[in-house]
Chains A and B, each alone.
Chain A
Amino acid sequence: MATGLSATTPLVEARGLTKRFAPPARLTDMFRKERPHTHAVNKVDLTISRGESIGLLGESGCGKTTTGRLLLKLIEPSAGDILFDGTAVAGLAGPSLIDFRKRAQLVFQNPFDALNPRFTIERALAEPLVNTGVERATHRDRVEKALSQVRLPPLARFEGLFPHQLSGGQLQRIVLARALVLEPDFIVADEPVSMLDVSVRAGVLNVMREVRASLGLAALYISHDLALVRYVCSRTLVMYLGRIVEEGPTEDLLKSPLHPYTRALMKAVPVPRVDQSRDPLPIIGNVSDARGQPKGCSFRDRCPLAIARCADDEPALRSVAPGRRVACHLV
């Protein structure tokens, strides 16, 4: 694949990205009309520049993980396009696909599942290099480099060790190092610290920040944890039922959330202090139906501000201030 059309081309660009899943079959469906498909991801537009860290925030089931998997071509979209460094990802095959796989990496959510328990740490780290046919003579150097990038001791310290002999924090760094050995330009990190205890989480988060700064790596951090996203990401996208409902520089978004959903989300985040607001949340009901609405705003059933128009017109994601986009009729 040709690299770097120009420095201003975004590294990752998605337009109208959509993924529909068929509903699971049920016996009773024989007597019914076809049930609607789930729009896991619905007409998502996003761009990620070189070296930029973006947070993708939302509730479970809102389509965050699916979005990440689409961007890495681990699954195919139902509609829409993805450009990676200016080239359409849909058309990649053969050598250009292998090249893409080297440049765009996934960091798994659960460090305990991400590594084969029967492989030594050494083998786990070299595996991506072997799989993509990277010249064998360079393996050792690349692995050592990745280990130092994630602030782990040299490979000699892990000789003969298996995953179960490492702590969660060490393992998560190994998983990250494993993504870095291929010297990617882009990583998708799906809930990268959610399985870790608080006392070790901070270490992994610090490494992620450093790696981004020193390697100029672009990253999409998928999380439901606002505090984490704030710590690592300069820009944040908020997703609700498959749609991006708000986007902005992380600090602005935190200070003045504009979409009613983002506002409720901010209020709901627990903080480790006793003096905090315990006012009722500005949101209705407690069910989110991932199927969404056939028309109108997907948040309208839970929105305390909804007006008649919200049931008919789907609000477009539009620019409301520099760098800020919101999909709501009232903003």
Chain B
Amino acid sequence: MEPPVLDVRNLSIEYRTSRGIVRAVDGVSFSVPKGAIVGLVGESGCGKTTVARSITGVLHQSARIAGGELVFKGKDLVAAPAKEWLEKRWRDISFIPQSAMNSLDPVYRIGAQLEEVLVHRGGRTRAEARSRSSELFDMVGLNPARLDEYPHQFSGGMRQRVAIALALALNPGLVIADEPVTALDVIVQRQILDVIRDLQRKLSLSMILVTHDISVVAYVSDKIVVMYAGRVVETGSTADVLERPRHPYMMGLTNAFPDLDTAAHDLVPIDGSPPDLASPPSGCRFAPRCPFLLPRCETDDPASAAMGEGRSVACHRAPEADDLRARAKESATWLPA
């Protein structure tokens, strides 16, 4: 089997805040297979963006990598000199930040912004850059005749396409997209996801797609990494995780989600909310909300354990997952005690 493009190993990241040190990412591990789209999902504040930014080397200045490795194409980026990492950006690893569509410079024509990246970071000549820009516009479904327009002349969805074109400009080995469709309407969202899927197949892109929306992941990604309160709780192929969740948090989410296709069943919320990362509970971080907790869950941290091919789960009761899943389908299970 081909080695993964990226192997995140036991990554921890801390923020310095007025309330002390917040460990926003705590021992996160997952890998990105070559040519795959990996969906990194979880609720607001669980640490998705922090992980994404760390890989691209653009962490906030109050953050620091407290441990772990980011092995990109066989080489650990964390241990590498900062300069080397910086060079990887754009060329090898490109980033589409959260709200990328608002990050275009309003005073320059869009084509000029693309050419800028191609010439200054990619070492292309002006003429090459011009033709590559047209090619990129074509690729993301924009009319190259509009390269000379300004960002305000583009709709949100079109600007998001430009952000994707920018990220692809230098044929990176890995693209990281943080909530690439979140601010968009469903129709535009679907069109952008189609562009992403299409490009992945044509260019065999390796990609991490960060989103809070499980439906987005279900639509485009091959593999899913579920985060909860700074940890990875479950990973596996998208189909397997969605159809047979093995972590109680994922089981709970399945009930909480309104679904258009299934009958209008009653939605069942997961009582409570994620823990404050400044003072996380000892033991399992989901324990305060988990209907299946055992006494040991509140004291022992469940390690992430491999469960079959490409599958890992961090729950003491993962071996009983099939039973728990059946119980999780009943709303009474989730009623607050």
CB of A46 within 8 Å of the partner chain: no
With beta carbons under 8 angstroms apart, the residue of A201, A254, A274 that contacts B242 is: A274
Given A197-B44, A199-B270: A283 in contact with B187 (beta carbons within 8 A): yes
Stretch at the interface among B5-13, B130-138, B213-221, B305-313: B213-221
Q: Considering the chains assembled together, what is the distance between the CA atoms of A142 and B138 in angstroms?
A: 60
Q: Which residues of B contact A60 (CB under 8 A)?
A: 185
Contact B273 A227 (CB under 8 A): no
With beta carbons under 8 angstroms apart, the residue of B215, B242, B269 that contacts A199 is: B269
Q: Which of A234-280 contact B (CB under 8 A)?
A: 251, 254, 264-274, 276, 278, 280
Contact B187 A271 (CB under 8 A): no
CB of A226 within 8 Å of the partner chain: yes
Contact B257 A198 (CB under 8 A): yes
CB of B238 within 8 Å of the partner chain: yes
CB of B157 within 8 Å of the partner chain: yes
Contact B267 A274 (CB under 8 A): no
Q: Which residues of B contact A200 (CB under 8 A)?
A: 269-270, 273
Q: Considering the chains assembled together, what is the distance between the CA atoms of A276 and B243 in angstroms?
A: 13
Contact with B along A80-113 (1 / 0, CB 8 A): 0000000000000000000000000000000000
Q: Which of A90-143 contact B (CB under 8 A)?
A: none
Q: Which residues of B contact A27 (CB under 8 A)?
A: none
Q: Which residue on B lies nearest to A199, using beta carbons?
A: B270
Contact with A along B174-203 (1 / 0, CB 8 A): 000000000001111111011001000000
Q: Considering the chains assembled together, what is the distance between the CA atoms of A315 and B196 in angstroms?
A: 36
Q: Considering the chains assembled together, what is the distance between the CA atoms of A198 and B185 in angstroms?
A: 18
Main secondary structure of the interface of B (DSSP, over half): helix
Contact A268 B189 (CB under 8 A): yes
Closest Cβ of chain B: how far from A233's Cβ, in Å? 11
Contact with B along A198-231 (1 / 0, CB 8 A): 1111110110000000000000000011111011
With beta carbons under 8 angstroms apart, the residue of A199, A266, A283 that contacts B43 is: A199
Closest Cβ of chain A: how far from B335's Cβ, in Å? 11
Interface centre among A60, A167, A272, by most chain B C-beta atoms within 10 angstroms, is A272
Q: Which residue on B lies nearest to A169, using beta carbons?
A: B273
Contact B260 A271 (CB under 8 A): yes
Closest Cβ of chain A: how far from B223's Cβ, in Å? 12
Contact A231 B258 (CB under 8 A): yes
Q: Which residue on A lies nearest to B239, using beta carbons?
A: A274
With beta carbons under 8 angstroms apart, the residue of B190, B216, B258 that contacts A268 is: B190
CB of A286 within 8 Å of the partner chain: yes
Given A197-B212, A202-B269: A271 in contact with B253 (beta carbons within 8 A): no
Contact A206 B185 (CB under 8 A): no
Q: Which residues of A contact B252 (CB under 8 A)?
A: 199
Contact A286 B155 (CB under 8 A): yes
Q: Considering the chains assembled together, what is the distance between the CA atoms of A268 and B261 in angstroms?
A: 13
Q: Which residues of B contact A273 (CB under 8 A)?
A: 218, 242-243, 259, 261
Q: Which residues of B contact A288 (CB under 8 A)?
A: 155
Q: Which residues of A contact B253 (CB under 8 A)?
A: 198-199
Q: Considering the chains assembled together, what is the distance between the CA atoms of A224 and B186 in angstroms?
A: 8
With beta carbons under 8 angstroms apart, the residue of B155, B238, B267 that contacts A287 is: B155
Q: Considering the chains assembled together, what is the distance between the CA atoms of A199 and B288 in angstroms?
A: 14
Given A271-B215, A286-B157, A287-B158: A205 in contact with B267 (beta carbons within 8 A): yes
Q: Which of B271-289 contact A (CB under 8 A)?
A: 271, 273
Contact A230 B258 (CB under 8 A): yes
Given A226-B260, A231-B264: A270 in contact with B269 (beta carbons within 8 A): no
CB of A168 within 8 Å of the partner chain: yes
Q: Which residues of A contact B43 (CB under 8 A)?
A: 197-199
Contact B273 A206 (CB under 8 A): no
Q: Considering the chains assembled together, what is the distance between the CA atoms of A227 and B239 in angstroms?
A: 21
Contact A198 B268 (CB under 8 A): no
Contact with A along B244-268 (1 / 0, CB 8 A): 0000010011111111110010111
With beta carbons under 8 angstroms apart, the residue of A198, A226, A280 that contacts B194 is: A280
Closest Cβ of chain B: how far from A330's Cβ, in Å? 20
- A-B contacts, 21 of them at CB < 8 A, read A169-B269, A199-B249, A199-B269, A202-B268, A203-B271, A206-B267, A227-B260, A231-B258, A231-B267, A266-B260, A270-B193, A271-B215, A271-B260, A271-B261, A272-B215, A272-B257, A274-B239, A276-B219, A286-B155, A286-B157, A288-B155
Residue ranges of A at the interface with B (Cβ–Cβ < 8 Å): 59-60, 167-169, 197-203, 205-206, 224-228, 230-231, 251, 254, 264-274, 276, 278, 280-281, 283, 286-288
Ranked nearest first, the 6 interchain pairs of A and B with the lowest CB-CB distance are A270-B215, A203-B269, A227-B258, A202-B267, A202-B269, A59-B185
Residue ranges of B at the interface with A (Cβ–Cβ < 8 Å): 43-44, 141, 155, 157-158, 161, 185-191, 193-194, 197, 212-216, 218-219, 238-239, 242-243, 249, 252-261, 264, 266-271, 273
